[in-house]
Amino acid sequence: MAILMKFNINTGDLGRVRTRLRRIRQLPQLTSDAMMEWGKILEGDMKTAAWQSGIKSFTGTLYEEGIRWEQRPRGYTGRLFMRLYALALDGMLPHWISVKPSRTGLLAWARQARNKDINSKALAVEQGRRKYFSLMVKPHPFIMNGWRRARPKLRPILAKYAKRAVGG
């Protein structure tokens, strides 16, 4: 019996279709990659927004692991972790606090403060000439700013990865 027709799916248009189908099969992985890329942008934008709202780096670990995006390499769920004090800084009401010797971090901050009044009062507390003094603290809202900045970037990133998978 003679061969009437022979097909090779690795050539021409059929080859292209095959490549495209292989890429489409990668879509779940690419979606996960897209989310990771956006998550890192969200993390960066949150840190920038926190810095712009006036939160200083020496008050904690916010600019290191204090804000971080976590996602399993092939996971579809990503989480933005944030230290609890960052949430407090973002949403607290203005209130009075006492600066006293037992609050060492706060006292150290007060000793470095630019405001001479706070600085001298902190020195008096440190030297034991004064038991404590009070300060009014205000919120530093930044979470919504960071979110508003990062949210519009999600669609272009997903589009980029979808094009990579489907568009070839």
Partner 1 sequence: MATTEYKHGSDCTGSDGALNRTLTLTYNAKPERFLLYVSGLLLSTLSSYKVTHQDTGSVITFLNALYDDMEIVVVYDIEFTTGKVNYGNLFSRSRDNIVSLIKDNVSDPTVSSSEHRKWIYSREPDVKANDFKGFPFIIIHPAVLSFDERTINGQVRTVLWGIQIEVITSDREFGNNDGNGSIHLDLISNEIVRYLNHSTNTNVLRINGLFFIDINATSVVVESFNNTLIYRRSFMLSFKNKMKVFA
Binding residues for partner 1, rule: CB under 8 A, are 33, 37, 41, 48, 51-52, 145, 148-149, 152-153, 155-157, 159-160, 163-164
Q: Which is nearer to partner 1, 122 or 142 (CB)?
A: 142
Three-class SS state of 100: coil
Distances in Å between the Cα of 3 and the Cα atoms of 6, 7, 112, 159 are: 7, 11, 89, 46
Contact between 26 and 19 under an 8 Å Cβ cutoff? The reply is no
* 112 exposure class (CB count in 10 Å sphere: 0-12, 13-18, 19+): exposed
User: What is the residue type of 78?
Assistant: G
Q: Which is nearer to partner 1, 79 or 160 (CB)?
A: 160
Q: Which is nearer to partner 1, 51 or 109 (CB)?
A: 51
Instruction: Provide, rounded to whole angstroms, the least separation between the CB of residue 163 and partner 1.
Output: 7
Instruction: Provide, rounded to whole angstroms, the least separation between the CB of residue 153 and partner 1.
Output: 6
Q: Which is nearer to partner 1, 133 or 147 (CB)?
A: 147
